[in-house]
Structure 1
């Protein structure tokens, strides 16, 4: 996983009015916390942060008053209608440190013939991995699965260096049979 460098500035004004002024200046209010230190309130450039957050669990290298800190996004708030960034919580990490993150689940392959449906029960899995080597996603093969088959969390092949935090017996995907309606008989219309 690559690091994305972003310049950050410490902010001293708080509240709704100050946050709105920050957003009008194409900045995003954020808070950085972790490792037992006091939370630091910062602003980040809106466009660069939005581009970086397209990658799940991106590792941000924050240039903050001459120091370089590594952080991962913990909570992202977006405007419900327009989708722009409202506020971001960042968690400080160190190289070699293990962190727990949510990883998206992707499926590949074709189901067995018969018109069955694939139900994604879990869209993410919780994994523990090194902060500088976070996987972007996990892929599950559903090739040839028939109705009634399911893939459990313990059956998923995890990326190297990561361990499963989600319950091992949790169903990730399952195949369900389609329920077709019986055709109406022609004489039943009367």
Structure 2
């Protein structure tokens, strides 16, 4: 779990015009909320935030007007074409507090021999874990799985201190039998016979 320090500035201007001015200065508008307190509108350094968000569920140590706060990203809005950050929502957390997050699922191992296809029913796994010890991902072994086999949420070994926040019987991965394709030459022969 990586912790990234960022200097945040509170902002008093709102709306599209203000947001555009902030982004022109290579900063990102955002809000910080949680623990029953008031929502705080902030600006964050754009490049540093972009680098921090490359790590899933990164823990941000924010310096907001001299006060240090811990937060995790809750919602990130990006420009659909250019990909730059438009806005970020951050949730305040405390050390030792449990939070619900989505962990990316990473697979390892080889499927059983044959033309089988591994389908990711879920790309992320919802878990509850300590805010300052969020794992980067969960690893699932698919070694030797054959067509018809599946992996349920309860079958995944979670890091210590982490519990499932989804139904334990939810299917995460399943192995499908590959469909055999008809050879193109045979298909052309069938069409010619049908025309005759």
- TM bucket normalised to smaller: over 0.9
Name the residue aligned to 2:26: 26
Measured at CA, do residues 179 and 37 of structure 1 come closer, stay the same or move farther in structure 2, by a change above 3 Å?
Answer: same
What RMSD in Å do the two structures reach over aligned CA positions? 1.2
Matches within 5 A, 1:1-190: 1-183=1-183, 184=186, 188=190, 189-190=192-193
Alpha-carbon distance between aligned partners in 2 of 1:2 and 1:123, rounded to the nearest angstrom: 22
Measured at CA, do residues 149 and 43 of structure 1 come closer, stay the same or move farther in structure 2, by a change above 3 Å?
Answer: same
Measured at CA, do residues 19 and 182 of structure 1 come closer, stay the same or move farther in structure 2, by a change above 3 Å?
Answer: closer
Residue-by-residue CA offset, 1:160-183 (whole Å, 9 max, x unaligned): 110000111111000000110344
Normalised to the residue count of structure 2, the TM-score between the two structures is 0.94
Measured at CA, do residues 179 and 36 of structure 1 come closer, stay the same or move farther in structure 2, by a change above 3 Å?
Answer: same
Q: Provide structure 1 residue ranges, at least 5 long, that are not aligned to the other structure.
A: none
Normalised to the residue count of structure 1, the TM-score between the two structures is 0.97
Q: Provide structure 2 residue ranges, at least 5 long, that are not aligned to the other structure.
A: none
